[in-house]
Amino acid sequence: MKNTTYAQDLKPPLKWAGGKRWLVPHLRPIWEPYSHRRLVEPLCGGLAVTLALMPEKALLNDINTHLINFFRWVQKGLYIDIPLENNEEFYYSHREHFNTLIEEGEKYSKEAAELFYYLNRTGYNGLCRFNQKDKFNVPFGRYKKINYIRDYEQYREVFKRWEFSCSDFEELTLNNDDFIYADPPYDVEFTTYSKGGFDWNNQVRLVKWLSKHPGPVVLSNQATERIVKLYQDYGFKVDCLDAPRMISCTGDRTPAKEVLAKKGL
């Protein structure tokens, strides 16, 4: 059965910062001539793009161990058994239990995957944040209604053809003809270093690594001046698009700009 059977049905199961579902109409025509190739997402996040493109073969990597643990359990055929309630007291008790599992070396367990799903959907904005003692510390989300998914059978059918990996992007082993879509955390200008974040050195390291790939590469990012220059300096063809988010802090309603950079296509 072809993966495309599910194309309309499968939404990303998690809420994840920086999801690029809105970019899919731009990415699909670039991907389609290469759809027989393996799709590699070295910073795959919540899979908004991969679940829309539905490749036959994929290598999906992210440095977040809880995220990849959840996807690996889905790949094995996950049915969530724990109670799922959109209730504040319940949320904090599940959060404490999740932190205990991590402390006890059980972060790759099925229960940790189930709790991660619950905390992601019930916590504030789908954030994944840890304090200095490595405790998950996202507050309760106060959503009116949450449609929890317990049964991942449909996802298992699709995920079984895909490989999940959890490492820094530079550790991936690529094939020369892989099609790469790389979507790093946004470049936030004037921030030179943020602990655990994706700083400027990482932005440079990523484009250097991608520029060595002989096959097709597509990159997206926030269109800051230095990102546009960096991608052009490494031989990418750069297009700018209007992103759906607005810059709200200044009160001006100008759409933010997104970069779509291409090479080897």
Residues that bind ligand SAM (CB under 6 A): 16, 18-20, 42-49, 61-64, 168-169, 183-185, 198
Taking the least distance from each CB to ligand SAM, the nearer of 78 and 166 is: 166
Which is nearest to 123 in space by CA: 111, 138, 110? 138
Residue 148 has which token pair?
Answer: 């929890």
Side chain identity at residue 142, one-letter code: R
The minimum distance between CB 103 and ligand SAM, in angstroms, equals 22
Residue 131 has which token pair?
Answer: 């304090």
Residue 114 has which token pair?
Answer: 């189930």
The minimum distance between CB 70 and ligand SAM, in angstroms, equals 12
What is the distance between the alpha carbons of residues 258 and 221, in angstroms, rounded to a whole number? 6
Q: Tell me the sheet residues that pair with 257.
A: 242
The minimum distance between CB 88 and ligand SAM, in angstroms, equals 27
Side chain identity at residue 28, one-letter code: R
The minimum distance between CB 81 and ligand SAM, in angstroms, equals 26
What is the distance between the alpha carbons of residues 173 and 130, in angstroms, rounded to a whole number? 29
SS3 177: coil
Element housing 203 (H / E): helix 200-211
The minimum distance between CB 187 and ligand SAM, in angstroms, equals 11
Taking the least distance from each CB to ligand SAM, the nearer of 19 and 264 is: 19
Q: Are strands 255-263 and 217-222 parallel, antiparallel or unpaired?
A: antiparallel
Taking the least distance from each CB to ligand SAM, the nearer of 23 and 115 is: 23
Taking the least distance from each CB to ligand SAM, the nearer of 86 and 137 is: 137
Taking the least distance from each CB to ligand SAM, the nearer of 19 and 77 is: 19
Taking the least distance from each CB to ligand SAM, the nearer of 5 and 167 is: 167
The minimum distance between CB 197 and ligand SAM, in angstroms, equals 8
Q: Specify the DSSP class assigned to residue 169.
A: G
Is residue 85 within 8 A of residue 118, CB to CB? The reply is: no
Residue 77 has which token pair?
Answer: 């055929």
